[in-house]
Amino acid sequence: MLARNLRLLAVLAALLGGGALLAGGELRLPGDHSGFSPTQPIAFSHRLHAGEMGIDCRYCHAGAEQSRHAGIPEASVCMNCHATVTARRDLVVAEQAAATRDGREPRTVVAPELRKLYRALGLDDERQRDPALAPQPIEWVRIHQLPDFVYFDHRPHVLGGVACESCHGPVQAMDRVRQQHHLSMGWCIDCHRSRVPTVLPFAAAPEPATGLPAGHPATVSIDCATCHF
């Protein structure tokens, strides 16, 4: 029976134009990128920021409430904290103790990953403009990517009370973010079917965010045209 099922899966893969992926011993259909966890240009830890420090997702991804896309935060958002926070506190305290012991001024301790942030902004370790450094955009690698024929809007989901973890998984526990779910159409529809119309009015949301008049309670649609218009 197992051999027969494997043959059937092989035939299915062939019918799909070889689009089925065998990753880690798991057969995946085209478009299933669950588990995708690329190395980023700066090793930003969501476990530290969202988990240990409890920073709200929307502080960095403010677009989630205001536009279709949650967006990648600008480096200036990072600098709201890291203009003064340059390394772990224990390393800074150790340097201050060493400076006191040696009778000198403490040196600036800069974590290697934060140095990458400063260099991208054209700054030296003292966070001053360095004429020899040209500012460069940080080339973050996108993780969650829906097909072009799918329309997804963060606004009605976030404003309707859907937790970020519902789609993105326990990001607050991830040092390096991965795609938690396969984000297939069936997965989305199952979620929509399991939800009842929310009683939360969208009084504060602009009409284009939901397609509903202000103050109208949101409904959870399974109509094809909602995502494929």
Distance CA 229, CA 219 (A): 18
Tens of pLDDT, residue by residue, the chain (229 residues): 555 555 555 555 544 444 444 444 566 677 889 999 999 999 999 999 999 999 999 999 999 998 999 999 999 999 999 999 999 999 999 999 999 999 999 999 999 999 999 999 999 999 999 999 999 999 999 999 999 999 999 998 998 889 999 999 999 999 999 999 999 999 999 999 887 655 444 444 444 444 444 455 557 888 999 899 8
Burial class (CB in 10 A: 0-12, 13-18, 19+), 71: middle
Place of tokens 């500012």: 135
Would 90 be classed as within a structural domain? no
Would 104 be classed as within a structural domain? no
- Alpha carbon distance, N-terminus to C-terminus of the chain: 42
DSSP letter assigned to residue 107: P
Residues in Cβ contact with 132 at an 8 Å cutoff, skipping those fewer than 6 apart:
none
In total, how many domains does the chain have?
1
Residues in Cβ contact with 205 at an 8 Å cutoff, skipping those fewer than 6 apart:
155, 159, 214
Q: What per-residue confidence (pLDDT) applies to 199?
A: 47
Distance CA 24, CA 39 (A): 18
Would 187 be classed as within a structural domain? yes
Would 177 be classed as within a structural domain? yes
Would 194 be classed as within a structural domain? yes
Q: How many CB atoms lie within 10 A of CB 209?
A: 20
Would 62 be classed as within a structural domain? no
Distance CA 187, CA 180 (A): 12
Distance CA 177, CA 51 (A): 12
Would 175 be classed as within a structural domain? yes
- Domain of 160 in residue numbering reads as 142-227
Q: What's this model's pTM, rounded to 2 decimal places?
A: 0.78
**Amino acid residing at 146:** L
Would 221 be classed as within a structural domain? yes
Asked whether 167 and 177 are in contact (CB, 8 A), the reply is no
Distance CA 22, CA 81 (A): 42
